[in-house]
């Protein structure tokens, strides 16, 4: 299956700062990537669909100005959490693929102090 990497795997930041998370498709050119968020003991929730060369599609309740997504190439999508707050602390996971075969990255654990 496809290989998806994420960087960093773990980040701690101060409240009010911005954090960028990278998601790379290592062996597949992905026109679409998905960003999920997972709070402890909760299910993965889709945040947005990242489309190469165009604007991302955000799920209801996700602030597009707070969670900036850039999909500048077929192998790289980035999620920037702007002005992070402690309630943004979560596990962020990206994926790519078709619905019946999505491949997930290893995730990025964000802790906002």
Partner 1 sequence: QKEVEQDPGPLSVPEGAIVSLNCTYSNSAFQYFMWYRQYSRKGPELLMYTYSSGNKEDGRFTAQVDKSSKYISLFIRDSQPSDSATYLCAMSYGGSQGNLIFGKGTKLSVKP
Position 21 contacts partner 1 (CB under 8 A): no
Position 49 contacts partner 1 (CB under 8 A): yes
Position 76 contacts partner 1 (CB under 8 A): no
Residue choice 14, 60, 86, 98 for contact with partner 1 (CB under 8 A): 98
Position 82 contacts partner 1 (CB under 8 A): no
Among residues 19, 48, 20, 9, the alpha carbon closest in space to that of 32 is found at: 48
SS3 88: helix
What lies within 8 Å, CB to CB, of 63 at 6+ separation is none
Among residues 92, 40, 4, the alpha carbon closest in space to that of 80 is found at: 92
Please say whether the beta carbons of 102 and 96 come within 8 A. Answer: yes
SS3 72: strand
Report the residue number, 65 or 101, with the smaller CB distance to partner 1.
Answer: 101
Position 95 contacts partner 1 (CB under 8 A): yes
CB of 22 to partner 1, least distance (A): 14
Return residues touching partner 1 (CB under 8 A): 1, 4, 6, 32, 34, 41-46, 49, 59, 91, 93, 95, 98-107, 109
């Amino acid at each position: 299956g496809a290989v998806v990497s994420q960087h960093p795997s773990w980040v701690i930041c101060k409240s009010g700062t911005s954090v960028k998370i990278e998601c790379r498709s290592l062996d597949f050119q992905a026109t679409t990537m998905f960003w999920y968020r997972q709070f402890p003991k909760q299910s993965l929730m889709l945040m947005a669909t990242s489309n190469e060369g165009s604007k991302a599609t955000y799920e209801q309740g996700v602030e597009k100005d707070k969670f900036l997504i850039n999909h500048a190439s077929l192998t790289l999508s980035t999620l920037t959490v702007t002005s992070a707050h402690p309630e943004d602390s979560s596990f962020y996971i990206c994926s790519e693929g078709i619905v019946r075969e999505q491949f997930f990255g290893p995730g990025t654990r964000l802790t906002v102090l």
